[in-house]
Structure 1
Amino acid sequence: MPEVIFTGPSGRLEGRFQPAKQKNAPIAIILHPHPAFGGTMNNQVIYQLFYMFSKRGFAVLRFNFRGVGRSQGEFDHGAGELSDAAAALDWIQSVHTDARGCWVAGFSFGAWIGMQLLMRRPEVEGFISIAPPANLHDFTFLAPCPSSGLIVHGDADRVVPQKDVQALVDKLKTQKGIKIDQQIVPGANHFFENHVDELLGICANYVDMRQAMIDAA
């Protein structure tokens, strides 16, 4: 798991990169929770997602947004962090130029950034959004959502009430040409305390299902 430093819009960004064995392997970037509330690339969910994708043959990158860890810059309330995510995607694409697919996975604040990124980057074919903060940030940019993906949240989440996530999912499900899978983890709070294994199993099964569909096509 090499440590990497790559150039972002506000200076260097610190990441961890796991290359893939196959030259044309798909790529994935993992986006961490809110920097102002202790979110880093070493968050347990982010760490586990990183290895989940790696075990499935992806070239995968997780990194610290600006102002977190050794990443330069200052917190920018989402606009700068979206630019950081775009720079991360550029970097991993420069390393894996023959990638046959591209995924974005994000947790909480990272889910909001990830869903903005997929609106800007048509090569993103799949996404995982964990506890997207639908009550805290505007998601109306998803008009229409260009990619199929998975949205997971806990029914005991007090940071992002289930009704707000449900409203987002219901809106996305009305769009043609994509499929939104939704999974609700009973008893899980916003941080999935004591439910991380269950969460990762849901995410792994979804990626396996999507990859099997691609292989069968």
Structure 2
Amino acid sequence: MPSETIFVESCHDKTSIETRITFNGNVNGATATAPAVILAHPYGPLGGNMRNNVIIALHNYFASKGYVTVCINFRGCGHSKGRTSWTGMPERGDYEAVIQYLKTSSPCKLSHLIIGGYSFGSMIAASLRPSSEDFDIPYSYLLISYPVSVQWALTTVRNSFFTQQINGLLRPAATTTGFEGSNHKVLVLYGDHDQFTGVRSYQNWLKNAGQHVESVIIPEADHFWFEHENNLVRKVNDWIVRAF
């Protein structure tokens, strides 16, 4: 599949961020359209990068379906410059830069965007809300093994910000308190052997989620998904078929 590696400047501080874009579609004609997905990896200091087993499996799946498929290496990972932050806020700027790049330089007109991530990457993805001025197409979220119980360790003094963002994404579009939540489709996937967040913690976290949120628990899978990548991809495909 044709892939291109480019470097974008982070919206946080212009750090150079390595980005891989794959598109196997037919771009002949001005009206050619395709959906897009961005995939973000786990925590860099623990070995996370775009060559992660989950990211590779999802990359291959979405590329085979004709998506404009984008993988990002956060700062300090792969050939990206800089170093991993203590708060997650610079990484938000890294991810935002990729969204901005798609807005202006996608290989075709986009019909939909899936904002995706795995572990640390899912936390960053869930915190982003492209405005209609920034990105005027529908978008959804794919969140795999969200680090519910260890988010505080990944974000330190900005933990409350990321908690507010994910809670706003998961709650119904309108609540009894008047807070405007999300109506974007969200898929949350996790394994029942996750080493960092137990099943009960996930269930308590999701119990007040809106109808726009679909959660799937995969038996025997842990946080790292080794030997469960195919099952993960099947569940993502089921969601794609139903939701889009």
The TM-score range, normalised by the shorter chain, is 0.7 to 0.9
Residue equivalent to 2:227:
194
> For 2:204 and 2:59, how far apart are their aligned partners in 1?
28
- Structure 1 residue 120, shift from structure 2 partner: 4.4
> For 1:128 and 1:167, how far apart are their aligned partners in 2?
19
| Deviating more after overlay: 201-210 vs 28-37 | 201-210
TM-score by length of 1: 0.88
> For 1:126 and 1:159, how far apart are their aligned partners in 2?
25
Residue equivalent to 1:131:
145
SS of equivalent residue, structure 1 residue 16: strand
In structure 2, do the counterparts of structure 1 residues 124 and 115 end up closer, same or farther at CA, with 3 Å as the change threshold?
farther
> For 2:138 and 2:227, how far apart are their aligned partners in 1?
31
Matched, 1:84 2:101: no
> For 2:93 and 2:34, how far apart are their aligned partners in 1?
24
Larger Rg: 2
SS of equivalent residue, structure 1 residue 70: coil
Q: Note if contact 2:111-2:138 (Cα within 8 Å) is conserved in structure 1.
A: no
- Structure 1 residue 48, shift from structure 2 partner: 1.3
Q: Match of 2:235, as an amino acid?
A: I
Residue equivalent to 1:3:
5
Q: Note if contact 2:186-2:213 (Cα within 8 Å) is conserved in structure 1.
A: yes
> For 2:225 and 2:117, how far apart are their aligned partners in 1?
14
- Structure 1 residue 83, shift from structure 2 partner: 0.7
Segments of structure 1 that go 5 or more residues without pairing to the other structure are: 212-217
Matched, 1:140 2:164: yes
Q: Note if contact 2:185-2:243 (Cα within 8 Å) is conserved in structure 1.
A: no
> For 1:158 and 1:110, how far apart are their aligned partners in 2?
17
Matched, 1:101 2:112: yes
In the TM superposition, 1:57-72 aligns within 5 A as 57-72=66-81
- Structure 1 residue 29, shift from structure 2 partner: 0.6
Q: Note if contact 2:9-2:97 (Cα within 8 Å) is conserved in structure 1.
A: yes
Deviations 1:18-45 (A, max 9, x none): 1243532111110101112110011010
Residue equivalent to 1:156:
193
> For 1:161 and 1:124, how far apart are their aligned partners in 2?
32
Percent sequence identity is: 23
> For 1:208 and 1:57, how far apart are their aligned partners in 2?
14
Q: Match of 1:51, as an amino acid?
A: N
In structure 2, do the counterparts of structure 1 residues 135 and 192 end up closer, same or farther at CA, with 3 Å as the change threshold?
same
> For 2:91 and 2:48, how far apart are their aligned partners in 1?
13
- Structure 1 residue 146, shift from structure 2 partner: 4.0
Matched, 1:41 2:46: no
Q: Note if contact 2:38-2:71 (Cα within 8 Å) is conserved in structure 1.
A: yes
> Which among 10, 20, 26 is matched to residue 21 of structure 1?
26
> Which among 176, 184, 193 is matched to residue 217 of structure 2?
184
- Structure 1 residue 121, shift from structure 2 partner: 4.2
Residue equivalent to 1:210:
243
SS of equivalent residue, structure 1 residue 73: coil
Deviations 1:122-176 (A, max 9, x none): 6452111111011122433232234111101001112121222222222323xxx
In structure 2, do the counterparts of structure 1 residues 124 and 40 end up closer, same or farther at CA, with 3 Å as the change threshold?
farther
Deviations 1:27-77 (A, max 9, x none): 111010111211001101011111211122211110100111110112123
Segments of structure 2 that go 5 or more residues without pairing to the other structure are: 152-161, 169-180
Q: Match of 2:113, as an amino acid?
A: C
SS of equivalent residue, structure 2 residue 164: coil
In the TM superposition, 1:110-125 aligns within 5 A as 110-117=121-128, 119-121=129-131, 123=137, 125=139
